[in-house]
Structure 1
Amino acid sequence: MKVLVTTAALFLATSVCAHEAPIHEHTELVPIPAYELPYGPASGAAALRAVEAFLARVDADTKAQFMFALDSPIRTKWSNLPAGIVDRSGISVGELDDEQRKLLFAFLASSLGQEGYESVAEVMAAETFLSTDRRAKRLQWAPENYWLSIYGTPDANAPWGWQFGGHHLGLNISIEGNRVETMSPTFVGTEPAIFTVNGMDYEAVRDMHLSGYAVYTALDEEQQAAAHAGKVPEDVLTGPGNDGRIPPMIGLSASEMTGTQRAALLTAINEWVSIQPDENAKLRMAELAEGLEEISFAWVGTDEVNTPTYMRIQGPTLIIEMLSTGGNVGSSAQGAGHYHTMYRNPTKDYGK
């Protein structure tokens, strides 16, 4: 089932419940295990070793639940909505035993850069924060409600990919030639953005927001006017359900920026690119730096956590969107932020 609603519509959707996702008491889930690399530096090769270890602990019937053909249409049916609104394929964190969960997190660490793994940690921590909200039971806000799917047969000599996501998270990693090929499309969001769970303080997605604001404030008045993104949209334009959508180019071209301003733009881009391992992130950043003059930057809003703000960074092979909604679904979030962000390389979605 493919579902996409705006933030405003999500408030109205709290009476809708697509299915009952499994909920288990795993108080040790958050914080998730610290970032460790038991299979060597994060890479396609490490991901293969890690997924093989995970699959060795899963029986055949369970594998059938989350392993699909590489070209399965299920792959594009991902969502950022809560489990109480949209049904998902795959196997959830809550359905795994302790050893399987340990191997799952080892797989995620082996498959992502440290920034990416920490993004997972922050999103799941925010879900734990929301799990005590008065809407939590209906919307099924719980850290157990994140799902893993594998596409193709993991192999050093064949393309394969994986997907991990749930509320405010959709990671889509494609691997070919035993190397990470792309992380497009990827959604990272949060509600709230600033919070404390189990004695740990979190500032989820704030670095992304502030990196974009740093670009905007580096511009002079005339450049800021050219970079104006117009009205803040109700949601990101290229999120789930919008594969193939290319928004019109808006904003200020990097060709009109100074060297210092371009450096700030590359730093902002890297906040998303670094979700994946260095083996592809460094190549991707070099590629984007080479073609930077074809990339535009657009911004409207402030640096405040709960002010409506929108950023779009776009070029022929790149779309980054960041939206601060300026409102909360969960009453417990108390104005502490609600973000949606997207990363796409429209020429390589799902490794195509």
Structure 2
Amino acid sequence: MANSASGNAAAGRMSAAARSLLDSLSPAQRAQAWAPFDVEDRREFMYVPGPRPGLGLWEMNADQQGHAMRLLATGLSERGLATAQAIMGLEEILAGIERAAGKGAWQRRDPGYYWFRVLGEPGGMDPWTWKVGGHHLAVHMTVVGDRIAGAPQFFGANPARVPDGHPKAGTRTLPEEEDLARALVADLTPGQWEVAVRPAPVPQDIITRDDPVADVGGIPSGLMYNDMGAGPRDTLARLIRCYLGRVVPDAADAAWAEIEAAGLDRVAFTWAGHTDPGNGHYYAVLGPTFLLEYDNTQNDANHVHTVWRDLRNDWGEDLLAMHYAAHRHRE
């Protein structure tokens, strides 16, 4: 877990930002943005377009939007925040693509269609949570004292590479998640390739979808870390850190420490689909404490879904268990 000093600082920044956002809202807005910690939707997320519980950016004035984005920045790393903002910005690009194609779906695309929600009392003695959700973005942070849990996290991109004809043509969102996995596969020996790579079938989405509890039973078996050479092992570690590194170091470092403690030798990588760019593909990285999934099959393999699930501490469940156990002991 994060050390006390850094944890206190990060948790304090989140508490201050959450309180500032709530204080900037009207009573009616606050009723949308805040709910008790044990509200039913605490352990829910979606990544398709559509409304979420909470207050949408589009319902806020400029000052309130600034408070909302500062809250998001307290939970994400510099790279993670830039990626989240890029994902939001893709909604305008996607709307233009759909409008030009004569599709009506563009009406659901808006960078303001992202909802912010605070559950519980920020900075209090009891656990609290904040979450941000909308199309292709689901950020969840649970704060228990000075400790932070940052999963699950969903980041997606459509288009993953902006097509020709647009001023931002060629711009890629989530490039490292694809490039590192491709580099790992390219560095495998023929025998390792046979274990790790399955040409078909290719899942048409992440297998765990948006289930509150990630069921890893359907994740294909793959090549174990210890059965790789030094190069692929290094790339796999970098790939894992890429996903964890979307969130602030306090949460990312704690998750990485648990992955190492559980044993990198127990981590497996699997790829499904062709390895040539432009073809639909999927991969998963599964260990005792975590799951990463990546899928790029829709819209001519230019539509990416990625998720990080913490199999012990999604929704802060591990931190909450320790908190409640300590509370019972004090009683």
**What does the per-residue CA deviation read over 1:81-136, in whole Å, with 9 as the maximum and x for residues that have no partner?**
112xxx42111110010001111111111221112201211211111101222235
TM-score where L is the length of structure 2: 0.84
Match of 2:39 in 1: 72
Displacement, 1:42?
A: 8.2
Structure 2 match to 1:88: 52
Query: Quick one: which amino acid aligns to residue 185 of structure 2?
Result: Y
| Separation of aligned partners in 2, 1:311 and 1:175 | 31
CA contact (8 A) 1:42 1:112 kept: no
**Which of 341, 345, 348 matches 2:306?**
341
Matching of residue 217 in structure 1 with residue 182 in structure 2: no
Question: Does the 8 Å CA contact 1:184/1:348 hold for their aligned counterparts?
Answer: yes
Considering fraction of residues, name the structure with more helix. Answer: 2
| Residue type of the alignment partner of 2:304 | Y
* Residues 274 and 109 of structure 1, relative CA distance in 2, 3 Å threshold: same
1:312 is the counterpart of 2:284? yes
Distance 1:65 1:310, change over 3 A: same
From the superposition, tell whether residues 336 and 63 of structure 1 become closer, same or farther in structure 2 (CA, over 3 Å).
same
Q: Which moved more, 1:94-103 or 1:132-141?
A: 132-141
Aligned CA RMSD, in angstroms, stands at 2.4
Q: Aligned-pair distance for 1:156? A: 5.1
Contact 2:162–2:168 (8 Å) recurs in 1: no
**1:207 aligns to what?**
176
Unaligned runs of 5+ in 2: 1-7, 318-331
Letter in 1 for 2:78: Q
The answer to whether the Cα contact below 8 Å between 1:249 and 1:296 also exists between their aligned partners in 2 is: no
Secondary structure of 1:63 counterpart? helix
Aligned to 1:56: 23
Q: Which residue of 2 aligns with 1:232?
A: 202
**Hey, what does 1:295 align to over in structure 2?**
267
Amino acid at match of 2:123: D
Report how far residue 61 of structure 1 moved: 2.4
The answer on whether the counterparts of 2:258 and 2:289 sit within 8 Å (CA) in structure 1 is no
CA distance in 1, matches of 2:116, 2:169: 26
Aligned 8 A contact 1:122 1:202 in 2: no
1:270 aligns with one of 241, 262, 266: 241
Equivalent-residue separation in structure 2 for 1:42 and 1:209 (angstroms): 33
| 1:27-48, Cα deviation, whole Å (9 max, x unpaired) | xxxxxxxxxxxxxx98222111
User: Which consecutive unaligned segments of at least 5 residues does structure 1 have?
Assistant: 1-40, 329-334
Q: Which residue of 2 aligns with 1:108?
A: 72
Q: Distance in 2 between matches of 1:201 and 1:104?
A: 30
Measured after TM superposition, the shift of residue 199 of structure 1 is: 5.8
Whole-angstrom distance in 2 between the partners of 1:150 and 1:156: 13
Instruction: Provide the TM-score with structure 1 as the length reference.
Output: 0.79
The 3 A distance-change label for structure 1 pair 305 and 92 is farther
Q: Which of 82, 95, 112 is equivalent to 1:118?
A: 82
Distance 1:200 1:337 in 2: 13
- For 1:167 and 1:111, the matched residues in 2 are separated by 19
- Larger CA deviation: 252-261 vs 161-170: 252-261
Work out the percentage of aligned pairs sharing the same amino acid. Answer: 25
Q: List, as ranges, runs of 4+ consecutive aligned residues in structure 1 with deviation greater than 6 Å.
A: none
Matched position secondary structure for 1:47: helix
Structure 2 distance, partners of 1:287, 1:77, is 24
Local SS of the residue matching 1:232? coil
